[in-house]
Amino acid sequence: MVRPAVSVPLVAALAAALAAACSSSSSVGDAEVVRYLRAQPPDRRTALVADAEQRSRATDVITRGGQPLTLLGPTLDVGAPAPDVTLIDSQLAPWRLADQRGKVVVLSVVPSIDTRVCESQTHHVSDAIAALPPGTVVVTVSRDLPFAQQRFAEEARTQTVMASDAKAREFGRRFGLEVDESGLLARSTWVIDKAGTVAYRELVADQTTEPAYPPLIAAAQAAAAR
């Protein structure tokens, strides 16, 4: 049987995440990580590219160190319905955005939790939960494996839900956040209101910097009041 080709960025990302997940500080064993990887379906990147809506490219939105980056997928403006996407939580269970209807959802999207800026962003958003309306669902999204996310959450004692887009990889494409050059997600923050509509978004222009937190908190408070 001929195995499907896997892109170099994807292999590199999985290798880095696997190394982090299997570090000595992780509570997850090597065998469990291997079983999880073997259970995944073939890479869906080719199938996603075939979708005309998801082939759109934007090269004038974000940069890294002054170099333009390419975003793949549609542009979601404030007022647009949020796509119904499924992520995987740290317990390997599906987490569906559509299941959160009736609640305000804050999404903190980071390229990789094992980097300094992403770690700082996750701590800031976790600390902001105390200022958010009761019942707000706060989620950190990345393409790290769930094992790496769980390890980070345990070590850093963060309070956000951790959700991975490493399996189906649909979140990045449907939210227009997949970075073509790296295969990772673009740093951004979002508020999804009770009706499932985008109430706020910030695509961080320079991906080496953190998002603005006061506007995010204010947007979540306004969405809860409606």
Tell me the per-residue pLDDT of 160-213, one tens digit each, with 9 for 90 and over. Answer: 999 999 988 999 999 999 999 999 999 999 999 999 999 999 999 999 999 999
The verdict on residue 18 lying in a domain is yes
Instruction: Say how far apart CA 14 and CA 7 lie, in whole Å.
Output: 11
- Does residue 128 belong to any structural domain of this protein? yes
List the single range of 27-31, 56-60, 132-136 with lowest mean pLDDT.
Answer: 27-31
SS3 142: strand
- What's residue 225's pLDDT? 95
- Residue 26: the pLDDT is 42
Helices and strands in the chain, H and E counts: 7, 12
Distance CA(98)–CA(90), nearest Å, equals: 19
Give the pLDDT score at 133. Answer: 96
Instruction: Say whether pLDDT at 138 is over 80.
Output: yes
pLDDT at 46: 40
* Neighbouring C-alpha atoms within 13 Å toward the C-beta of 222: 10
Of 144, 136, 181, the residue nearest 164 (C-alpha): 144
Mean per-residue pLDDT of the chain? 83
Q: How many domains does the chain have?
A: 1
Would 173 be classed as within a structural domain?
A: yes
Specify the pLDDT at position 36: 59
CB-based contacts of 192, cutoff 8 Å, min separation 6: 82, 97, 100, 104, 105, 106, 107, 198, 199, 223
Extract the tokens encoding 19: 């190394």
- 15 in a structural domain: yes
pLDDT band for 47, please (50, 70, 90 cuts): very low
Task: Give pLDDT, residue 11.
Answer: 40
Please report whether residue 2 resides in a domain.
Answer: no
Q: For residue 77, what are the domain limits?
A: 8-225
In a domain, 137, yes or no: yes
Asked if residue 72 lies in contact with residue 54, where contact means CB atoms within 8 angstroms, the answer is yes
What CATH number is associated with residue 94? 3.40.30.10
Q: Is residue 1 part of a domain?
A: no
Task: Please tell me the number of Cα atoms within 13 Å of 168 on its side-chain side.
Answer: 15
Which of the residues are catalytic?
118
pLDDT of 8 > 50? The answer is: no
Residue 96 lies in a domain: yes
